[in-house]
Amino acid sequence: MQNHGAGVFRELQAISLVLVTLAAAAMLAFLGSVLAQPAAVDIANRLELFVDQHRIETMRGVRLQLHPPRRAEVVLRFDKPWEGRHSAYVTVLKDGDRYRMYYRGWPAIDGPDQVCYAESLDGIHWVKPDLGLVEWQGYKRNNILWNGIGRHNFTPFVDARPGVPPSERYKAVGRGLNPRNRLWGFVSADGIHWRTVGDEPVITDGKFDSQNLAFWDRNRNKYVAYFRTSHRGVRAIARAESDDFRHWSPTTPIELGDTPPEHFYTNATLLYFRAPHYYFAFPKRFNPQRKRLDWHHKTGISEAVVLSSRDGLHFDRTFMQTLIRPGRDERNWGDRSSMPAWGLHQTASDEMSLYYSQHYGFDTAHMRRGVFRLDGIASAHAGYEGGELVTKPLLFEGRRLILNYATSASGSVRVEVQEINGKPIPGFALADAPELYGDAIAEPYTWTSGADVDSLAGKPVRLRFVLKDTDLYSYRFGD
């Protein structure tokens, strides 16, 4: 009897061990499946653009496509005697209800240069006010702003740092001429009358022989500066940081990934005004050995490109191709034409403008406006045969999914919302997703169950965009 009881006990022990082992294996499998799930990124109600693949898991029959700006009107001619054919390095600021333009006036290479100023109420029609500040050949009726130390490639910004003193609401950096490799800092209460920050340059580690710039980076809670340096044997872009605009960190070249070295003469780096978690840069890409026209005064050809970043240091080269080509006008096949100004601004309800130089080195030198669709630098593009794009897992807040899109008359957008494992969510599956077609900057998507996605807010989901003959420029969640 005792032997029988001992046998039963051993059998129970064995069964318990098997059950414990199975439970442990099931728990490990569960934990493994949880750990294997990618973490969802909380985008809240932020705008997401299709300029990189950071939020994209897969694409089939869809590609990211660059959209060069539409060539619009000439907005400013460098036709004053103190401006001239070598005017360049333009800054365009949006300041309240006014646009401000600062640029180098330089009529003769062997003569002095000066900082000039223009302004506009719409970003399209510009005037050059008589400032009465600086004498030029015996009189002050001109738009010259500054001709003192650090005037070379003088680049201002409106300081967005919280608590900035009114006397320093505007700041700028400008290169000294003797010695050349120095950046001076400037402050101003009105953007017109300037004074230097201290008696010494603020940044000294760089080349600086193009447009150098700085701004308050709300993402890092620091001032950041982007400027010309040398790296990997080419003209390159470097950056530095500061807490107070006076003392700056060591210089660091920006990261461009595994891309071939290219000459970037300028950078035009900025926070995107509609989604400041994006950094855009619009460098002037320079080909120093090329010369299209025998009669042109210098060797070298320029064009504009675009870079994007999520942290301001690592920049994405999704689009290696040119953003702004020289075109058919022979006078743009030179060394500083097609050079973007610093500044990208909304100039209508559905458009934004980038300004760029043309005819540099000629007496017809001017600035032209290029027009993008709002949020339309790039898109997720599908042809007539169709395709689909699935996002990485994300969290959101808001009641509507809002799309910026354009289809053909035969094209469409459909959206499926999935669980993190790719399973369609009832009511938001592709079978519940009607074809959306048209052309809209901000249109809510509506399923057969309705447009309200509030029940999914705060939960990890994926978006599956099914596209046909369509450009999808952006999406966001909101009310």
Residue range 69-89, pLDDT digits in tens: 999 999 999 999 999 999 999
Q: Map tokens 């461009």 to a residue.
A: 256
Q: Residue 308 pairs with which residues in a beta bridge?
A: 280, 316
Segment 174-186 mean pLDDT: 88
Q: Map tokens 């989604």 to a residue.
A: 275
pLDDT score at 34: 44
Rounded to an integer, what is the distance from CA 25 to the centroid of its chain? 48
40-66+379-478 maps to CATH 1.10.533.10: no
- Which of 177-181, 196-200, 339-343, 358-362 has the lowest average pLDDT? 177-181
Q: Map tokens 């082992």 to a residue.
A: 21
Tokens of 257: 């990934």
CA–CA separation, 93 and 214 (whole Å):
13
CA–CA separation, 415 and 73 (whole Å):
38
pLDDT score at 35: 46
Tokens of 354: 């980038």
Q: Write out pLDDT tens, residues 246-259.
A: 999 999 999 999 99
**Burial (CB count <10 Å: 0-12, 13-18, 19+), residue 403:** buried
Q: Which residues contact 409 (CB under 8 A, 6 or more apart)?
A: 437
Q: What is the mean pLDDT of the chain?
A: 93
Q: What angle do CA 350, 355, 357 make, to 5 degrees?
A: 155
Amino acid at 187: V
E strand or H helix that includes residue 354? strand 351-358
Amino acid at 210: S
CATH number of the domain located at residue range(s) 70-375 in this protein: 2.115.10.20
Taking the whole predicted model, whether its pTM rises above 0.85 is answered as: yes
Q: Which residues contact 470 (CB under 8 A, 6 or more apart)?
A: 381, 382, 405, 406, 407, 408, 411, 412, 413
E strand or H helix that includes residue 11? helix 2-36
Residue 50: pLDDT over 80: yes
Q: What angle do CA 54, 58, 63 make, to 5 degrees?
A: 80
For residue 448, the tally of other CB atoms under 10 A from its CB is 11
Residue 53: pLDDT over 80: yes
Residue 280 phi, psi dihedral angles, 5° rounding: -115, 145
**402 and 90 Cβ atoms separated by less than 8 Å:** no
Residue 207: pLDDT over 80: yes
Tokens of 27: 């728990």
DSSP 147: -
Domain boundaries, the chain: 40-66+379-478, 70-375
Among positive and negative, which fits the CA dihedral 471, 430, 477, 316? negative
Q: Report the relative pairing of strands 394-396 and 41-44 from DSSP bridges.
A: parallel
pLDDT score at 111: 86
**Nearest of 357, 368, 390 to residue 464 by alpha carbon:** 390
CA–CA separation, 361 and 107 (whole Å):
10
Residue 418: pLDDT over 60: yes
CA–CA separation, 433 and 50 (whole Å):
22
pLDDT score at 298: 82
Segment 393-413 mean pLDDT: 98
State the virtual CA torsion across 80, 84, 90, 96 in degrees, nearest 10. Answer: 0
CA neighbours closer than 13 Å in the CB half-sphere of residue 358:
22
Tokens of 123: 């970003």
